[in-house]
């Protein structure tokens, strides 16, 4: 048997915690013969290192990051947790999968239910990382969304990378946008979702949340690893 360790960032937000728990439950529904265990890299416990150490004694382990790009937590926290054990592996983050863009499109349709307007502009608002590979992941995710919607899509970051979300919103308006919609490229409500909401866009989408398509991506990352 192989255990799926669903490793998220962790959050102080009760709504964010429930959202991640609901997503993990959706994953369990899809692979009922697989043990699915939660772990965290920050804020909450148990840590991913604790869970991998416990589970690897009786089963092979695959850690799937409930994260949207590579970065410190994938390259250090998760990698360090699996490295000592030959039967422990690490899956890819979720954000570059095309299904994630489909969820973002659905979130956009929820807040922009009618036709797109000529002055509409979407800012793809990500958490941000100083890791160049994380920037590449976000660019890939934004490119998937561009294929699905007929309006310009630019990128902004909440931290660690440029441009910041508020600057991307300002740049869109300076370029002639009359309505700026921020796509919240975060998994669940919490700190980074709050930064997106306060960045000055006219409309902000909900985070990806406990969507069936996100759960499908988690299962695919698990099986690929």
Model confidence at 139, in pLDDT bands (50, 70, 90)?
very high
pLDDT at 2: 95
Are the beta carbons of 199 and 186 closer than 8 angstroms? no
Residue-averaged pLDDT of the chain = 96
Lowest mean pLDDT among 31-35, 75-79, 147-151, 152-156: 75-79
Q: What is the C-alpha separation between 123 and 100, in angstroms, rounded?
A: 16
Q: Which residue has the tokens 């962790």?
A: 10
pLDDT at 20: 98
Would the CATH topology of 2-94+211-224 be identical to that of 98-204?
A: yes
pLDDT at 209: 97
Residue ranges of domains in the chain:
2-94+211-224, 98-204
Mean pLDDT to the nearest integer, 142-169: 97
Looking at CATH, the fold of the domain delimited by 2-94+211-224 is given as: Rossmann fold (3.40.50)
Over residues 50-99, the pLDDT tens digits come to: 999 999 999 999 999 999 999 888 989 999 999 999 999 999 999 999 99
pLDDT at 70: 93
Structure tokens at 178: 């009359």
pLDDT over threshold 90, residue 124: yes
Backbone angles phi, psi at 114, to 5 degrees: -90, -155
SS3 sequence of 177-208? CCEEEEEEECCCCCHHHHHHHCCCCCEECCCC
pLDDT at 106: 98
Alpha helices in the chain (DSSP H): 14-30, 48-55, 72, 79-82, 98-111, 132-146, 165-174, 191-197, 212-224
Mean pLDDT to the nearest integer, 145-151: 98
pLDDT at 213: 98
pTM of the model: 0.95
pLDDT at 1: 85
Q: What is the C-alpha separation between 93 and 222, in angstroms, rounded?
A: 10
Domain 98-204 sits in CATH at 3.40.50
In the chain, the percentage of residues whose pLDDT exceeds 70 is 100
pLDDT at 205: 98
């Amino acid at each position: 048997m192989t255990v799926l360790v669903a490793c998220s960032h962790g959050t102080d937000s009760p709504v964010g915690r429930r959202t991640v728990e609901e997503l993990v439950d959706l994953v369990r529904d899809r692979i009922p013969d697989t043990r699915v265990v939660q772990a965290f890299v920050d804020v909450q416990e148990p840590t991913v290192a604790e869970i991998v150490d416990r589970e690897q004694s009786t089963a092979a382990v695959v850690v799937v990051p409930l994260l949207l790009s590579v970065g410190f937590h994938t390259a250090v926290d998760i990698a360090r947790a699996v490295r000592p054990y030959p039967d422990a592996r690490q899956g890819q983050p979720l954000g570059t999968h095309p299904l994630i863009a489909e969820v973002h499109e659905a979130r956009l349709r929820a807040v922009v239910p009618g036709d797109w307007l000529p002055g509409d502009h979407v800012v793809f608002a990500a958490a941000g990382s100083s890791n160049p590979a994380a920037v590449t992941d976000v660019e890939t995710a934004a490119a998937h969304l561009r294929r699905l919607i007929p309006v310009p899509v630019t990128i902004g970051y909440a931290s660690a990378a440029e441009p910041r979300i508020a600057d991307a919103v300002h740049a869109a308006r300076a370029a002639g946008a009359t309505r700026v919609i921020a796509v919240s490229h975060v998994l669940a409500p919490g700190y980074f979702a709050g930064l997106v909401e306060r960045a000055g866009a006219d409309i902000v989408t909900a985070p990806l949340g406990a969507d069936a398509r996100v759960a499908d991506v988690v299962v695919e990352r698990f099986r690929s690893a």
